[in-house]
Chain A
Amino acid sequence: MLEHLDDDIRDHIEQETRDNIARGMPPEEARHAAIRKFGNITRVKEDTREVWRRVWLEQLLQDIRYGLRMLLRNPGFAAVVILTLALGMGMNTAVFSVVHTVLLRPLACPHPERLVWIAGYDANIKRDVADSPDFVYWRQHARSFTGMAAYGPQQAAMVTPKDAQQVSGMVVAGDFWSLTGARPALGRLFGPPEQDTVVLAWDLFENQFAADQHVVGKSVSVDGRSVTITGVLPKDFRFPFPMWWQSVEPRPVEAYFPLPAKDMAMGRIVNVVASLKPGVRAAQALVEINVLEKPAQESRPPQFIEPTAGLRVEPLAYKLTGAARPALFVLLAAGSFVLLIAVLNIANILLARATVRQREIAIRAAVGAGRARVIRQLLVESVVLSLIGGAGALVLARTALAILIRLSPNAAPRLQETSIDGSVLAFTLAVSIGTGILFSFGPALALWRTSLHDALKGGARTSASAAGLRLRGLLVSGELALAIVLLIGAGLMLKSFWRMHARPPGFAPESILTMQVRLAGPQYREQPAQEAYMRELLRRVESAPGVQAAGVSTWFLFESVRFPSDTSPTQRHTIRLNAASPGYLKALGIRLLRGRWLNGADSGGNAVLLNESMARQAFGAVDPVGRQISTPEPATVVGIVADLKYSQLDADPPAEIYLAYEQGPFFSGSSVAVRTAGDALPMAPAIRKLISGIDPTQPVYSVKTLEQALSDSIAPRRFNLFLLGTFAAVALLLALVGIYGVIAYAVAERTREIGVRMALGAQRREVVRMVVVEGMAMALAGMAAGLAGAWGLTNLMASLLYDVKADDPATFAAVAAALAATAMLACWVPALKAARVDPMVALRYE
């Protein structure tokens, strides 16, 4: 109505001007007179708009009041709709807030958008690496960056006023503090040239130093060295950069040390983060890094022969969330599926009610309400409902988030920062309004087509209900189509889990206790002292009651090794060597396939065992027993052991060479494995005490059963499965309620018809069959569409699966069968009710 107002006013003034000219005025004056006579144009426009605004608002308020009255009159209906919505939207809100935190919210650093990750991928250890000499060179010569920092994990034995503590620390170098934007809560942050200093995280300061301010400037013993505490970080400071070890060792960073100058020069694998200069893009920085690669390599220390290949410079945010990204998108999609099912369900209920309300609405139309007005009324009712549902969703999402974070705090990076903030509120508000509009479409459409005359004449039951029922059948089919996609997704993940947990016979991780020990301090600097400690450890643990086998192991990598099966003389491999005491393999339950075990006589390192994968890689089809392999010292293979997944459930067991534990570098920390007679967990405190009794200054940590450790190794996957599983369960429930509702309603509608049929001799069995067949036609049509959709969609979640194809026919078939069976049940109940119809009663009823 208002769109041409400006034109109208302009035309009006032009005409008046022309009239004035006709009366003899000069054109300029004529125009002024016309405008004068018209009055204040802006005010006229405002007044005109006001006319409509007031109506609009008045009607809206009226509609809302009316809507609320209608809801109060049908509290059962309102409760069902609000609950369904709260469930559907609550899950979406929870997932959105996780996505928002993990993927969208910028890091809490200055200029997070300029931070980049510089690394190359090492296929052997399956992670990104950078070398410290390169870092030093880049930081000195590269011009693309305003700052560059290197860091890496550092376990350290700290003797605090309380006790000896294994501290999970971080060694940092370069512009680490300025890149993270850290400010000290107490004292100061050490500068680049300082060594033998430490900055404490607040938690460590509180727990181990009793939050005593006077410790700043004092010294503590770290790995037997005296180190000065220069400062303490504030409580809310979190280490913001990627930590690849978090999935293995999910502990917060407790202390920050300067990266030792010796390590830096000698070469050490580090993680590198840099801040781009304004206006410089990551691709440009990469070009510069690649140009610097040649001189950087020439400046490397001689023992560093292998350069890091395929360097990348990518946004830090991407690196940080890269692994969680596909999972979160799948969850987001799953969440919207659940919401869509909820909407379809509610549209369904509203449609059923629309038929009942047809008379009321027809009366309103008859006394002068336009169709548009009635439809708007329905829209407002829906939006009011969904806004209430949205409020419920927020409450639900808060609870769900709290539970999720408690269950698996490290399932996704930054998960613990997740909260319901302004953006999440805005998201839920938008979803609520959108949802309300969406589910009012169906009923509005049905009303649009209704003939007023029929509605008034026919009473509550009208001919339009047949069309309505068809529409409702379509909605239910849609629900089942969506539900089956979710169920198949969840089914595939469940099967992945089952595959991951497949274990060889005799492997009982719940009766194996694992823990870490690390020898630190001047008294263990010599190898004989380390060996003596380990011998004593094994002696004590093995003689403990209930212990069947015990061993220690430490693994390390060796680069540039040649395999006997190599065909080209330039081939080189990185091998994983596992220095394990004889009892270690037995404690884990690794089986010997051929040859013999290592024994005390093999401590020189010239006899080794291979696991199956290693044997296959190094020797191909040849039987390795009795043959030589380079470790890189030449050694004889004396036996082959079976592959076993004893560290990471969702990856193939690594190819390994086992050799005598005396060959291992104990100072880097060793794992202890203890196999007990029954459940290992109750024995944990006793064994821990036994080991710390050897030397109380050496911490024993990460004490858990192998079952726990393995389960921790797939925490993100468990998180995804839990969420997707919940989504699928809710989807199933909603879809079943939907199909049940439609069938039950159809049966109620047709009570009279059924009565007639039965009066004419139809058997109860036939009535049941008729109802079930109709329901199942609806369900099967939806499922067929859903299966076709799932066939394409599950490919998107391929990266979340393990050892299961995205189109695994067995899963598809099993889910389809299970859903069909449940849908059948949902049809059966109303069908039985239909069969109990008493023809006499049914006929008299009308």
Chain B
Amino acid sequence: MSTRSPEDRVGLLQGTLDVLILRTLLFGPAHGHAIVKAIESSSEDVLQVEQGSLYPALHRLIKRGWISAEEGLSENNRRAKYYRLTARGRKQLQVETAKWEKLARAIARILKPASEEANS
């Protein structure tokens, strides 16, 4: 089981799953289950993906041409669908990442005083 207690976990913000998928695929093609696992483990299990929501997101990305799907074999020799980042997806990831950093910085700046106040 996970190493964190349920209270520590954070649900995903609307729209963030897409960029996380893109980021995960930057390391190379992966199949659906591997993508969720990677997201969860690389966030040290803070982020929790409702696994099912992965699929509409994957298809949304395919539709936009940011990732492509291809047939392949999984480690245990079964047919599996692999998702691969396209060139456009790579570009999009840069755009999205920059956007996120800006946003996160801005929000952090606004929230910082409040959290200090709450702690005191």
Contacts and interface: CB of A to CB of B under 8 A. Distances in A.
Given A1-B69, A39-B51, A48-B56, 19 more contacts: A1-B59, A1-B62, A4-B81, A8-B32, A9-B55, A11-B31, A11-B32, A11-B74, A11-B80, A19-B37, A23-B1, A38-B50, A38-B52, A39-B50, A39-B52, A44-B56, A47-B53, A50-B56, A52-B59
B112 interface: no
A16 interface: yes
Contact of A16 (B1, B33, B74): B33
A12 B60 CA distance: 18
A44 B32 contact: no
A8 B74 CA distance: 12
A6 B54 CA distance: 14
11 contacts: A1-B59, A1-B62, A8-B32, A8-B80, A16-B33, A37-B51, A38-B51, A39-B50, A41-B52, A44-B53, A44-B56
Nearest to A9: B55
Interface in A166-215: none
B45 to A, nearest CB: 13
Contacts of A502: none
Contacts, number: 60
Nearest to B35: A12
A51 B81 contact: no
Contact of B32 (A12, A39, A50, A51): A12
Interface in B31-82: 31-33, 37, 50-56, 58-60, 62-63, 69, 74, 78-81
B51 A8 contact: no
B56 A39 contact: no
Contacts of A16: 33, 51
Given A38-B51, A39-B50, A43-B52, A15 B33 contact: yes
Nearest to B31: A11
Contacts of B69: 1
Given A1-B69, A8-B32, A12-B33, A51 B56 contact: yes
Nearest to A50: B56
Interface string B1-24: 100000000000000000000000
Given A1-B69, A12-B32, A44 B59 contact: no
A236 interface: no
B120 to A, nearest CB: 39
A15 B81 CA distance: 13
A298 interface: no
Nearest to B33: A15
Given A12-B33, A15-B33, A40-B52, A51 B63 contact: yes
Contact of B55 (A19, A47, A55): A47
Contacts of A651: none
Interface of B: 1, 31-33, 37, 50-56, 58-60, 62-63, 69, 74, 78-81
A7 interface: yes
A5 interface: yes
A47 B1 contact: no
Nearest to B58: A48
Interface in A23-48: 23, 37-41, 43-45, 47-48
Closest 4 CB pairs of A and B: A39-B52, A44-B52, A47-B56, A15-B33
B97 to A, nearest CB: 23
Most B CB atoms within 10 A — which of A8, A47, A50?
Answer: A8
A52 B60 CA distance: 8
A452 B97 CA distance: 34
A23 B80 CA distance: 23
Contacts of A23: 1
Contacts of B58: 48
Contacts of B74: 11
Nearest to B49: A37
B51 to A, nearest CB: 5
B18 to A, nearest CB: 12
A5 B55 contact: yes
Main secondary structure of the interface of A (DSSP, over half): helix
B118 to A, nearest CB: 33
Contacts of A48: 55-56, 58-59
Contacts of A40: 52
A41 B51 CA distance: 10
B33 A7 contact: no
Contacts of B62: 1
Given A23-B1, A39-B50, A51-B60, A11 B55 contact: no
Contacts of A44: 52-53, 55-56
B39 to A, nearest CB: 13
A8 B81 contact: yes
A55 B69 CA distance: 18
B52 A7 contact: no
B51 A12 contact: yes
Most A CB atoms within 10 A — which of B52, B53, B58, B81?
Answer: B52
A37 B1 CA distance: 13
Interface in A51-75: 51-52, 55
A7 B33 CA distance: 13
Contacts of B81: 4, 8
B59 A8 contact: no
Contact of A7 (B51, B53, B60, B79): B79
A422 B62 CA distance: 42
Contacts of B52: 9, 38-41, 43-44
A55 B63 contact: yes
Nearest to A5: B55
Contacts of B80: 8, 11
Contacts of A4: 81
A374 to B, nearest CB: 15
Most A CB atoms within 10 A — which of B37, B53, B54, B56?
Answer: B56
A2 B58 CA distance: 11
Nearest to B1: A23
Nearest to B51: A38
Nearest to B75: A15
A41 B50 CA distance: 11
Given A44-B56, A48-B59, A52-B59, A11 B51 contact: no
Contacts of A9: 52, 55
A411 B41 CA distance: 82
A773 B29 CA distance: 61
Contacts of B1: 23
Most B CB atoms within 10 A — which of A9, A41, A47, A51?
Answer: A51
A5 B59 CA distance: 10
A51 B59 contact: yes
Most A CB atoms within 10 A — which of B31, B51, B74, B78?
Answer: B51
A774 B63 CA distance: 49
Nearest to B48: A37
A8 B55 contact: yes
A5 B58 CA distance: 11
Contacts of B37: 19
Contacts of B53: 39, 44, 47
B68 to A, nearest CB: 10
B23 to A, nearest CB: 20
A8 B82 CA distance: 10
A42 to B, nearest CB: 10
A39 B37 CA distance: 15
Nearest to A24: B1
Most B CB atoms within 10 A — which of A15, A23, A43?
Answer: A15
Most A CB atoms within 10 A — which of B32, B55, B81?
Answer: B55
Contacts of B60: 51
B63 A52 contact: yes
Most A CB atoms within 10 A — which of B62, B69, B80?
Answer: B80
A39 B53 CA distance: 8
A37 B51 CA distance: 6
A336 B74 CA distance: 53
Given A38-B51, A38-B52, A11 B33 contact: yes
A578 to B, nearest CB: 85
A7 B79 CA distance: 9
A11 B50 contact: no
A5 B52 CA distance: 12
